[in-house]
Structure 1
Amino acid sequence: MRTSLTLSASIIALLLVQGCNQQAEPQSEPAPAVEPAIVVVEAPEAEDVKADIQSQKGIVMLEGTVRFFDLEGGFWGILTDDGQQILPSNLAKEYQKDGLRLSFSTTEVTDMMTIQQWGILSTLSNIEVIGQVESKGGNPLI
């Protein structure tokens, strides 16, 4: 019996020593309560949103004059009001009139090449006729 008592006391002492040797994990402090912030945001105008979406897609609204250029076999181009040269890849026959004024949306074509070394190759959409100016008769120096 003395043996079992000694053995039991040894096991209890070992467990107590082992329990005291374990390092206590630091208790994390509770996170402070976050108060909700009130943010006032102005809603953009519908036109601004539409313009922003179009610019993200690479769509640009322009106005310009259709011109026929008698260079490299001849081609139709558009001189915009801000001085850009647009080489349309899809200008319909009904708009192929020298001096025709157009309002249109354009998207630059970057994965195609042409023999015309003039302007920015673009695809047109939302084309509207806004007027007519004097024809220059194919003058390449327009």
Structure 2
Amino acid sequence: MRNKKIKGKVVYLELEGGIWGIVDDKGGDWLPINMPFELMKDGLIVEVEAHKSSDFLSGAMWGTPIEISKFEILPS
């Protein structure tokens, strides 16, 4: 699958015991299945390069599952 650049804000949601996600500039919800520790800060502005994960199931029922391959923390 082709990588996609996603720019947005990191969010922490109280679902399924707590999950980390990214809400992009267009309001899209992304659920990183391999969220780097460095990005686990609510409100952080990031740009990630990722691809959709088609074989991941989550009970959270929030966002599109992605696997991050590269990331950059942007100034807020």
By the TM > 0.5 criterion, same fold?
Answer: yes
CA positional deviation for 1:83:
1.2
Q: Which runs of 4+ in 1 moved over 2 A?
A: none
What is the correspondence of 1:101-140 to structure 2 with a 5 Å cutoff? Answer: 101-132=45-76
Q: Specify every segment of 5 or more residues in structure 1 that has no aligned partner in the other structure, as ranges.
A: 1-56, 133-142
1:96 aligned partner: 40
Alpha-carbon separation, structure 2, partners of 1:61 and 1:92: 16
Task: State how far apart, in whole Å, the 1-side matches of 2:16 and 2:55 are.
Answer: 21
Shift of 1:96: 0.2
Which has more radius of gyration?
Answer: 1
In structure 1, C-alpha distance between the alignment counterparts of 2:50 and 2:38, rounded to whole Å: 18
Q: Distance in 1 between matches of 2:5 and 2:37?
A: 21
The alpha-carbon deviation at position 72 of structure 1 amounts to: 2.1
| Aligned residue number for residue 139 of structure 1 | none
Q: In structure 1, how many angstroms separate the alpha carbons of the residues matched to 2:75 and 2:14?
A: 23
Per the normalisation by structure 1, the TM-score is 0.51
Count of aligned residue pairs for this structure pair: 76
Q: Kindly, what percent of the aligned residue pairs are identical?
A: 32
Q: Which amino acid aligns with 1:103?
A: E
Q: Equivalent residue of 1:94, what SS?
A: helix
Distance in 2 separating the partners of 1:122 and 1:68: 16
Q: Answer 1 or 2: which has greater strand percent.
A: 2
RMSD: 1.1
TM (norm. structure 2) is 0.92
Ranges in structure 2 where 5+ consecutive residues have no aligned partner: none
